[in-house]
Amino acid sequence: MDEIRDEGLLRVIGPVGLTASLVNTVIGGGIFAIPAALALTVGSAGAFAFLLAAVVMGLVAAAMAQAGSRVARSGGIYAYAEAAFGPLAGYLTGVLLALTCVLAAGGVAAALVDSLATLSPVLARPLFRAGAILLLFGALVAVNLRGVHAGTQVAAGSAILKFLALLLFVGLGATLVRPEHLALQHAPAVSSLVRGAILAVFALAGMEIALGASGEVRDPARTIPRALFAAFFLVVLLYLAIQVVAQGVLGPDLATSHAPLADALARVSPAGRYFMLAAGAASMLGWLAGDVLGSSRMFFAFGRMGVLPKRLGAVHPRTRVPHYAIVAYGVIGALLALTGTFASLVFVASVSNMLLYVACCAGAWELERKARSLGDTAQPGRSGVIPLLAMLGLLGVLCYSTLRELLAVGAVLVVASILYWMTAAGRRAAQRGAPLPVAAATGRASS
């Protein structure tokens, strides 16, 4: 089955290429807004929330590396869950991924408009804010309806600016850090710290996206673990530096900022503020363009599977893009942005993302158990301990989610399961062969 799914693919991606791809997918537009949301949640202890999240996500990365060396086919987390537990588990993993993506899209869009409102206060008015969000998603959908090339250009064009802006922020902002802004007046409550870690997990998520191309990785048993750990280390260092600098420059003002990095650089020069606003807007716009490009394909895949209306699986005869799926994804993203804020949407997206990682870690544990039961001794010293520790860490953080957040994600999974069973007969009649790889058909960009 694996050979059929990856037939025709060349294994040409090495450690350096995969590391670069992982870093690019993890560092997204959300980092321009996360520092303020963290400060609002946990005060000046935002860096500690990042460290807690880094420990949990480090275990998740290790579990991913373990599973990736066992399942060397395209699809990433979807492939691991399916290989371990079967098609239904793979499908629900794809549902969690789709939910995470569309919630993140709504949150980043809300953050983008709110940051622009610091330049044009009229955008803070409800009617004008709604108009800006609708115009934003309308433009993103229009660009992606033109074809894959147009959407890719917008997404790729912001990557270089994003990295340069973040490095510039750390370099210039570090000169203005005030130690008293970093001092903890009192130890943060455990609940606040873990809630902050939920936000930080969202910022650190995205490693699974680049692993969707596992079928094209050279020597995956060695390349995937090396690239995962190198990328994770680099991203954690950068994010910690950004949080510390933002907190050290703005102090208590960080929690109320709609454009924290821009407000911090404004203390260097007014030009710095405008540069960071432009860079943040470009980065968030580029992320959204890439997200609509890639994540809408999940709706397309679900349409082709038959669990969603078949029209979502249609392809435009001229542009060859899944036009109905793109429009549907844009409409849902816009509705979420209209009805939520960055922080509220990101908390639910992070809960969904952590459940996605629980599925991955459970898959890694099961794959290891199956390999050992079959007498596999090719990789001595490995066990299911790391995936179990990762699951415990994720579940421990999830315990501090609100009931509303958990119910929102749970309701989607229940509805998705019902649709899966209701359409089972039709899918068996229409499909003779391997189930459609939902996650492999996507290219979700990280937040």
Given a cut of 80, whether residue 213 has pLDDT beyond it is no
* Cα distance between residue 105 and residue 284, in whole Å: 9
pLDDT above 90 coverage of the chain, percent: 38
Indicate the average pLDDT of the chain. 81
* Cα distance between residue 122 and residue 88, in whole Å: 47
* Cα distance between residue 81 and residue 64, in whole Å: 11
> 24 or 344: whose pLDDT is higher?
344
CA quadruple 388, 55, 211, 445: dihedral, nearest 10: 130
- Residue 446 resides in a domain: no
Given a cut of 90, whether residue 363 has pLDDT beyond it is no
Given a cut of 60, whether residue 10 has pLDDT beyond it is no
pLDDT at residue 229, rounded to an integer: 79
Number of domains in the chain: 1
Residue found by looking up tokens 């503020």 in the block? 273
CA 95 to chain centre: 14
pLDDT at residue 37, rounded to an integer: 92
- Residue 418 resides in a domain: yes
pLDDT at residue 385, rounded to an integer: 87
Burial class, 36, CB count within 10 angstroms (exposed 0-12 / middle 13-18 / buried 19+):
buried
Minimal CA–CA distance to 328: which of 340, 304, 311?
311
- Mean pLDDT, residues 252-265 taken together: 91
* Cα distance between residue 40 and residue 43, in whole Å: 6
Q: At what angle do helices 159-173 and 220-250 cross, to 10 degrees?
A: 50
- Residue 211 resides in a domain: yes
Q: What are 372's two structure tokens? A: 């050992």
Given a cut of 60, whether residue 47 has pLDDT beyond it is yes
| Per-residue model confidence as pLDDT tens digits over 177-188 | 999 999 887 788
Res. 223 pLDDT band, cuts 50 70 90: confident
Res. 427 pLDDT band, cuts 50 70 90: low
pLDDT above 70 coverage of the chain, percent: 78
Lowest mean pLDDT among 46-50, 322-326, 392-396, 437-441: 437-441
- Residue 232 resides in a domain: yes
* Cα distance between residue 220 and residue 6, in whole Å: 14
- Mean pLDDT, residues 69-75 taken together: 57
- Mean pLDDT, residues 32-38 taken together: 91
- Residue 447 resides in a domain: no
Q: What is the CATH number of the domain that holds 226?
A: 1.20.1740.10
Tell me the chain's radius of gyration from C-alpha atoms.
21
CA quadruple 358, 359, 364, 367: dihedral, nearest 10: 150
- Residue 146 resides in a domain: yes
pLDDT at residue 36, rounded to an integer: 93
For the entire predicted model, the pTM comes to: 0.81
Which residue range is the domain that position 375 belongs to? 2-441
pLDDT at residue 441, rounded to an integer: 43
pLDDT at residue 119, rounded to an integer: 87
pLDDT at residue 299, rounded to an integer: 87
- Residue 329 resides in a domain: yes
Given a cut of 50, whether residue 434 has pLDDT beyond it is no
* Cα distance between residue 445 and residue 291, in whole Å: 5
Given a cut of 60, whether residue 155 has pLDDT beyond it is no
pLDDT at residue 323, rounded to an integer: 86
Given a cut of 90, whether residue 390 has pLDDT beyond it is yes
The type of residue at 400 is Y
Lowest mean pLDDT among 62-71, 96-105, 230-239: 62-71
| Per-residue model confidence as pLDDT tens digits over 274-321 | 988 888 888 888 788 877 877 888 888 888 888 888 888 888 888 777
